[in-house]
Structure 1
C-alpha cells in the first residue's frame, strides 16, 4: 500500500555530509540537515549503495516556484501532503514540470553545449552513474542558508526520536517481487529542492534503475 504519511519539509539548509563507505551493503546516502521551527531534521537522500549493482538515475533542473507547485508557499516545518497534484505532492511521471518526454538516458553527463540545447528545448533527461557521481550532482544545490524543501516520508520509528525524512526518491515503479512493491503509489515521490538567489528552485530527482518509468494508477509498473 502507498505510504501512510507523505509530505514535505520546509526549512533552512544547515549542513550536509556523505555516508562513510563500508562493506555491509547499506544504502548510500547524502545526509542533509535542515532547520525548522521544531528542530533540526536529518534527511537521508538515497544515491544508491556502496556496492550495489542496481544503479541510480538522477536529474537536476531549475523551476520557477509556480511550476514546482503549492509546496513553495508553505510555512517552515513539516507538512503532510495528500497524494494528489493539488496538494503540492510530486510525481516524477505525472507532474507537468517533471515529466521528460525525450526518452533519453545519459550514462555520463552530456557536454555543456548539449545540456544548454536540452535546457533550451525544455528537455531534462535522466543521467546514470555511480553513487559518487549522483552525490556530485546533488551537492552543488546544498548551499547552507538556502531555503530547502525535502519531499518524502517522515521518520516515524526512529529509536532515538530524531526528526527526519527518508524515502527521498521515486516511490513508484518497483517491480513484482521487490521488497518495496507494497509501497508503490502515485503522487508520493521524494525530491530535494533549494531556493536560488534569483527566486527559482534547484531540484534534484533520483530513482533506482530497477524502477519503471511507466506506472499504472496504483504506482505499479505497466
Structure 2
C-alpha cells in the first residue's frame, strides 16, 4: 500500500525512533544494580521478574519492559522491595531512564525534517513516562520536530489502549483515517487498530516480522522507508 493520503504520523519511541537494546539494556543493568545496592545476585533474581538476564544483558522477547509501562514494571518489581513505596520505585525507574543512552534507528533529524517539509504533522506516543521520553528526544536533537509528545502518564493512558492516539488526532485536528501509527510492537499496532489509524510496523525493535505482520497494514525495515510510501 502507499500512504499518499496520510497527513499525520504518530511514532512509538523505543524500537521505532531509537534502537531498543541500545537504550534499555544499559538502563536495566543500571536500575537493577542501583535498586539492589550493587548486589548482583539479588539484581539477577529481580531482573528475572521483568524478563531481563543480567549476566547476558538481554531482555526476553516477552519482557514486560519491552511493551509495558513503567507502572507495570513497578508492579512486577514490588514484591522484591516490600519496604519501598511504589512511587519510590517509579521515580528511580524514570530517573535511570532519563539517563539511558540513545541510538537512533536511522538518522532522525534529516528524515523528520523532510516529513515536516511535506506538511505532515508528527507526534510521539510511548509507554515510557513523558519526562524521560522528552529527555531522550532532546538528547537525540529532535524534540522540536514533534507537534505532540505523550507518555503513559500524560493523562491519556498507555498502549494498546488508543487514548494517546485520539489525543494526537485531536491536537493536530486530523481524522484518525489520515494518520499512521508507526511502531515496533503489537501494542502499538493494536492501539492503531482501536483508534482507526493506518498501522505501520517497523523491524527495529525486538519483535519479528511474523509476529507483527498480522496486525499491520504495512511492514517496513525501519522508518527511513516511510518517504517512499508517502510519495507513492
Q: TM-score, normalised by structure 1?
A: 0.27
Q: Which protein shows a greater Rg?
A: 2
Q: TM-score, normalised by structure 2?
A: 0.26
Question: Which protein is richer in helix relative to its size?
Answer: 2
